[in-house]
């Protein structure tokens, strides 16, 4: 098992969910270093999280991409072997961290993504979002030749090589699917493991309704740019 593991939890206005999530992680059999990155929240996310975990506070909201990259930079600077991203809204059960690490131990890959669509049970998102995710998945397969069933999943494990790449280059917009394109373009290995997700208990998703279509189209545009980028 790798020696140093960092669990990165990006947060924005998650004061209701961050406390229970951190307590759940602390109750696991294995101790993990946790790092909460507060992306300029306007509520008490930072004060709640800092009582239970190590925290990084961004003075202004820079978006999920910049927020996650800050944690990846921290992992790189502090020489972590693995960095695991878990969303701060509590949708990812902490028990799934074991699933990712076990899978990495059995067969290491640079990036391991927790996919809610391989294990067809529990929360699988709205129909509109599933259609959008399928379209992004098809585009990734077409552009990079790799089938990724859940490219938008925020539960993912990165090894040293992925940490090194993403600490210097990480998309600021729509980071999850686009970082998959980045990684595949740079020749990193990616695998998916089935995970179960929970429904969000507090707050609302920033992507819903018509925004889903705009999200999908912009992600597809960015992926095409990454693919043709090396030919320009």
Partner 1 sequence: MEYHPTIQTTIFISLFLVVYLVVLLKNTIKNAIDLYDFLLLSSVAIIPSIFVLFPKFSEFLARLFGVAFPFVVLFSLLLLIIFVYLYRLVVKINNLNNKNILLIQELALLSKKILEKKNNE
Q: Choose one: 1-9, 59-67, 199-207, 220-228; the region binding partner 1 (CB under 8 A).
A: 59-67
Contacts of residue 129, defined as CB under 8 A and 6 or more positions apart, other chains included, come to: 152, 207, 208, 212
Among residues 58, 136, 157, 197, the one that binds partner 1 under rule CB under 8 A: 58
Helix-strand-coil split of the chain, %, nearest 5: 45, 15, 40
- Three-class SS of residue 92? coil
Closest CB 76 distance from partner 1, rounded Å = 10
Closest CB 60 distance from partner 1, rounded Å = 6
Among residues 1, 28, 77, 213, the one that binds partner 1 under rule CB under 8 A: 77
**Residue closer to partner 1 (CB basis): 4 or 146:** 4
Task: Tell me 35's DSSP state.
Answer: E
- Strand residues in 104-230 grouped as ranges (E): 111-115, 156-158, 190-194
Among residues 49, 56, 139, 219, the one that binds partner 1 under rule CB under 8 A: 56
**Residue closer to partner 1 (CB basis): 72 or 180:** 72
Among residues 6, 22, 36, 37, the one that binds partner 1 under rule CB under 8 A: 37
Among residues 172, 186, 191, 200, the one that binds partner 1 under rule CB under 8 A: 172
Among residues 10, 66, 132, 175, the one that binds partner 1 under rule CB under 8 A: 66
With contact defined as beta carbons under 8 Å apart, do 116 and 196 qualify? yes
Task: Tell me 182's DSSP state.
Answer: H
Q: Does 60 interact with partner 1 (rule: CB under 8 A)?
A: yes
Q: Does 110 interact with partner 1 (rule: CB under 8 A)?
A: no
Among residues 33, 43, 52, 62, the one that binds partner 1 under rule CB under 8 A: 62
Torsion, CA 122, CA 154, CA 16, CA 63, rounded to 10: -150
Q: Choose one: 49-57, 86-94, 199-207, 214-222; the region binding partner 1 (CB under 8 A).
A: 49-57
Q: Which of 132, 137, 135 is nearest to 115 (CA)?
A: 137
Total residues contacting partner 1 by CB under 8 A comes to 17
Q: Does 74 interact with partner 1 (rule: CB under 8 A)?
A: yes
Task: Tell me 79's DSSP state.
Answer: T
The total number of residues shown for the chain amounts to 232
Specify the pairing of strand 54-57 against strand 33-38: parallel
**Residue closer to partner 1 (CB basis): 73 or 146:** 73
Contacts of residue 205, defined as CB under 8 A and 6 or more positions apart, other chains included, come to: none
Contact footprint for partner 1 (CB under 8 A): 37, 54-60, 62-63, 66, 69-70, 73-74, 77, 172
């Amino acid at each position: 098992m790798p020696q140093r593991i960092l669990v990165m939890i990006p947060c924005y206005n998650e004061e209701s969910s961050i406390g229970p999530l951190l307590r759940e992680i602390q109750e696991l059999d294995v101790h993990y270093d946790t790092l909460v990155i507060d992306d300029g929240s306007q509520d008490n996310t930072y004060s709640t999280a800092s009582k239970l975990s190590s925290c990084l506070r961004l003075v202004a909201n820079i978006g999920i991409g910049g927020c996650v990259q800050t944690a990846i930079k921290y992992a790189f600077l502090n020489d972590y072997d693995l960095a695991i991203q878990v969303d701060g809204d509590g949708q990812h059960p902490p028990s799934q961290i074991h699933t990712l690490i076990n899978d990495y131990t059995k067969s290491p890959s640079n990036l391991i993504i927790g996919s809610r669509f391989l294990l067809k049970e529990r929360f699988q998102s709205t129909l509109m979002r599933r259609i959008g995710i399928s379209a992004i998945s098809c585009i990734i397969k077409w552009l990079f030749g790799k089938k990724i069933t859940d490219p938008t999943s925020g539960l993912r494990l990165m090894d040293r090589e992925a940490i090194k790449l993403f600490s210097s280059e990480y998309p600021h917009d729509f980071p999850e699917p686009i970082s998959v394109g980045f990684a595949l373009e740079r020749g990193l290995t990616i695998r998916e493991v089935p995970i179960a997700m929970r429904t969000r208990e507090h707050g609302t998703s920033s992507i819903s309704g018509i925004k889903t279509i705009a999200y999908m189209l912009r992600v597809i545009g960015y992926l095409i740019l990454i693919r043709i980028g090396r030919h320009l």
